[in-house]
Amino acid sequence: MTMQECYRAIGADYDDVLGRLRSERLIQKFVLKFLDDGSFDLLCASMDSGDLDTAFRASHTIKGVCSNLGFTRLGKSSHDLTEALRARNAEEAAGLLGQVKADYEATVSAIRTYKAEAGL
Amino acid sequence: MLKGKILIVDDSEMNRSILADMLEEEYEILEAVDGEQAVTVLEEHSADIALVLLDIVMPKMDGFGVLAVMERNGWIEDLPVIMISSESGSAQVARAYDMGVTDFISRPFDALVVRRRVVNTLLLYAKQKRLMAMVEEQIRETERQSSLMVEILSHIVEFRNGESGQHILHVRTLTDHLLRAVMRRTDRYELTSDDVTRISVGSALHDIGKIVIDAKILNKPGKLTDEEFAVMKTHAMKGAEMLDALVEHRDDPLVRAAYEICRWHHERYDGRGYPDGLKGDDIPISAQVVALADVYDALTSPRVYKAPIPHEEAVEMIMEGKCGAFNPLLLECLAENADSIRQDIVTDSDRTVARESQNIVKDSVRPAPGDAVASERTLRLMDFERMKHSFFSAMTKELQFEYTVAPPKLSLSPWAAEVLGLEEIISNPGQNKRIRTILGEDGWSRFSWEARQTTPESPSASFDYQLTYNGQTRWHQIVLRTIWTATTPQRFAGALGKAIDNHDAHERMISLEKKAARDAMTGLLNQASARERIRRRLEERPEGRYAMGVFDLDLFKSANDSRGHQFGDRVLKTVAERLTHSVRSSDIISRTGGDEFMLFLEYNTDLERTIDRIFNSLCGDYEGYDISVTMGVARSETAGPSYEDMFREADSALYAAKRAGKRRYCFYDCSMRDVLRAETDVDERNGRN
């Protein structure tokens, strides 16, 4: 699996990110780094405990990172969640969390496959 | 060159990392994970951070919180902030701009855009800083001068009062102190920082009315009579009248302040002062403060009629109303700041006008929050100063220049640019061909060297240097003042300077030096300068083969005796001429005294033939007088490359030649040492030396 295929698998825009970061090496570095980002765990934990402020910031961070990496699909769902949390609409947020989780899992699993195949 | 530091503040490590990757080649990156950490980093490094990239949404303290702290600490004026965010709501953007943000970068980051924005922002700030510094320098000079005039004027009064001049300094310091304390406590008096400065400067004039008071009353050691006191009291009104008579200037804010101070600095809060018996806040705050400062300093200073009273006691006396009633608020300010006031008065003596004018400058240049940094007034001032500057620089024929290290750039005054045939602004001047022609091959490194010899404490350098332009090479005096960064440690940031054509003076100086180095009668070098040159020659190339000859005229005394001293002088001149013509211009020849001469030359082949030729050209008839010399010659090969050793050996050889019968030359050899010593011993024993 190439990085380009990996991007296609997770509904992300490879051309966009290459245009901005201008280096395949950098893209690979940051995509792999995405696996270590703690924001998603923080988001889940704070949603569980009803800490909407923290959840907002975590979701906001995920959205920002996705935007930088060109992860269009996860970017969209985390954007919706961020807006719900900004409005402090707990009910709507809880509903949107499911989509974020699904997109996140899909993204992470594709990156893991890429990583394993690349022998990294 | 040191990399500029950029602080990246973002709670997402990923985002920081992406930005750092884009910028770390050209900049040193500092990172902070939230607003609080950003503030901590800024507190430590605010002086050497060049730029902040700031996220908005962060835990603990968000981006707006950081901006608020930067505003409070005055950092935002010098330190550009670029906001990074996907928050593109226009309310957010407007708020950020209001708080002093320079630019926005939105996610997703584009490497080119990020780099370009960073560079643009840094350039903009650097330029602004330079302009500010220029204006500040100009204003400082103007203010310093007017402040100086006030100081001179008030010292005249002090002098006539038989006081040291310390009193006005003290009153001024106290006034400044008290007013600032008042400002901190209340806005009742609507004082601005400009007012405080004006009142402090004006306070120096509080007693100018005393200039018209009879010196007998003014300096009377004992208690004044009622009549005398009545005369004394008129000084307040007289001073005010003098200022009011300045028709053209009486509406000037400084003159207004001085007027109030002169007229009412003897009024008291309860209405029992003079001349008008004003009461409470009918007395302008300027006069109230100066009155208190005046009383305090009068108590604590020695006077013809009393000894100084200690600080604590003086404050107590004032508090108890022994010197009349004062505004309770001012008394509080005095009591509260008693310690720092005493401190300041003690160190006051060293203070100069410069400090004060710096305050003026700071206050007038610092933009009010929300104002554009270079206000219209600043720009107008700058335009005027530039015009003034170019006018004067053309008048004085000074080539003025300004150099900055980052970016490497040379700016010339319009006149200098025209004369030198250069652009007014030159990037990378070190590589500029035309500049190389003007300065010469090594010129740039010479200037760098001179600049490196300066320090922030002693930033000036002055040296003479030859510049080539308009087809001429002429001497110039170069005066430099280096500029240093405000960081710790301070770094070299550039230099201001001027070059003044001093070619003619330089030439005169060189010819004077030549004269000083030469014997007036023969035009040959005197002994001291010959010695100097020989030493230098030996040091430069000690491995060379050198010869030194010393000779004197045989029986010269008889020429003087039989044909007169004027003839003797002509003989000496003739010998000097013959000597000059028989050696090369690179050889060193000297009249070392009386009828003694010296020559010093470098040789390759047959020294003996050379010496023989010189010897023969020296001897021979002059107007019927037979010039005859005896010479001793030493070689560096035997003596070593030392002036003293060569001279001693040449002298020994001369002695040996004389013993052998004059009109000859003789080379030094080792046996002479002992001969000489034996002879000297005999001479000494016979008491002949």
Query: Would you say residue B116 lies in a domain?
Result: no
> ipTM surpassing 0.95, yes or no?
no
Residue where a domain terminates, one of B477, B508, B539: B508
- In tens, the pLDDT along B138-153 reads 766 666 666 677 777 7
Interface test with A, best of B18, B23, B24 (most A CBs within 10 A): B18
Burial of B309 (0-12, 13-18, 19+ CB in 10 A): middle
Residue B441 shares a structural domain with residue B555: no
Q: In this structure, are residues B598 and B589 in contact, taking their beta carbons and an 8 Å threshold?
A: yes
Q: What band does B673 get if pLDDT is binned at 50, 70 and 90? A: low
pLDDT (average), residues B217-221: 78
Helix, strand, coil % over all residues of chain B, rounded to 5? 55, 15, 30
Please, how many CA atoms are within 13 Å of residue B262, restricted to the half-sphere of its CB?
27
Structural domain count, chain B? 4
pLDDT (average), residues B398-408: 83
Angle between helices B166-185 and B111-160 (to 10 degrees): 130
Residue B367 reports pLDDT greater than 70? no
Closest chain B residue to the Cα of A75, Cα to Cα: B108
Q: What is the CATH classification number for the domain harbouring A55?
A: 1.20.120.160
Name which of A29, A61, A69 is nearest B11 (Cβ-Cβ).
A61
| % residues pLDDT > 90 (chain A) | 46
Cβ-Cβ contacts under 8 Å, A61 against chain B: 11-12, 15, 57
Name which of A30, A39, A63 is nearest B18 (Cβ-Cβ).
A30
Q: Which one is predicted more confidently, B292 or B386?
A: B292
Q: In this structure, are residues B185 and B240 in contact, taking their beta carbons and an 8 Å threshold?
A: no
Q: What band does B575 get if pLDDT is binned at 50, 70 and 90? A: very high
- In tens, the pLDDT along B312-321 reads 888 888 888 8
Q: CA B326, CA B272: separation in Å to the nearest integer?
A: 11
Residue B523 shares a structural domain with residue B593: yes
Cβ pair A37:B12 closer than 8 A: yes
Q: CA B359, CA B343: separation in Å to the nearest integer?
A: 19
Q: What is the CATH classification number for the domain harbouring B546?
A: 3.30.70.270
Structural domain count, chain A? 1
pLDDT score at B280: 92
Query: Would you say residue B118 lies in a domain?
Result: no
- Residue B689 contacts by C-beta under 8 Å, 6 or more apart in sequence? B680, B683
Residue B249 shares a structural domain with residue B157: yes
Name which of B12, B17, B18 is nearest A61 (Cβ-Cβ).
B12
Q: What is the CATH classification number for the domain harbouring B481?
A: 3.30.450.20
* Domain extent for B94: 4-109
Our CA angle for B43, B44, B45, nearest 5°, is 100
What is the secondary structure of B76-141 as a DSSP string?
GGTS-EEEEES---HHHHHHHHHTT--EEEESSP-HHHHHHHHHHHHHHHHHHHHHHHHHHHHHHH
Place of tokens 């052998």: B660
* Domain extent for A50: 3-117
Name which of B14, B21, B59 is nearest A65 (Cβ-Cβ).
B14
Query: What is the mean pLDDT, run by run of 10 residues, along chain A of 120 residues?
Result: 86 85 83 88 92 92 89 92 91 92 92 85
Cβ pair B59:A16 closer than 8 A: no
Query: Which tokens belong to B376?
Result: 């219209």
Cβ pair B13:A17 closer than 8 A: no
Cβ pair B86:A63 closer than 8 A: yes
A vs B: CB pairs below 8 A: 56
Residue B500 shares a structural domain with residue B533: no
Q: How far is CA B360 from CA B193, B369, B636, in A?
A: 9, 18, 69
Residue B102 shares a structural domain with residue B144: no
- In tens, the pLDDT along B1-50 reads 456 789 999 988 888 888 888 888 888 889 998 999 999 888 888 778 88
Q: In this structure, are residues A59 and A85 in contact, taking their beta carbons and an 8 Å threshold?
A: yes
Query: Would you say residue B387 lies in a domain?
Result: no
pLDDT (average), residues B647-669: 90
pLDDT score at B682: 43
Residue where a domain terminates, one of B314, B349, B365: B365
Residue where a domain terminates, one of B464, B480, B508: B508
Residue B446 shares a structural domain with residue B557: no
Lowest mean pLDDT among B166-180, B341-355, B413-427, B466-480: B341-355
Query: Would you say residue B371 lies in a domain?
Result: no
Angle between helices A39-49 and A90-117 (to 10 degrees): 150
Residue B152 shares a structural domain with residue B292: yes
Residue B302 shares a structural domain with residue B323: yes
pLDDT score at B284: 95
Query: Would you say residue B388 lies in a domain?
Result: no
Residue B248 shares a structural domain with residue B314: yes
Lowest mean pLDDT among B161-165, B501-505, B617-621, B682-686: B682-686
Backbone CA torsion sign across B663, B669, B670, B671:
negative
Residue B97 shares a structural domain with residue B166: no
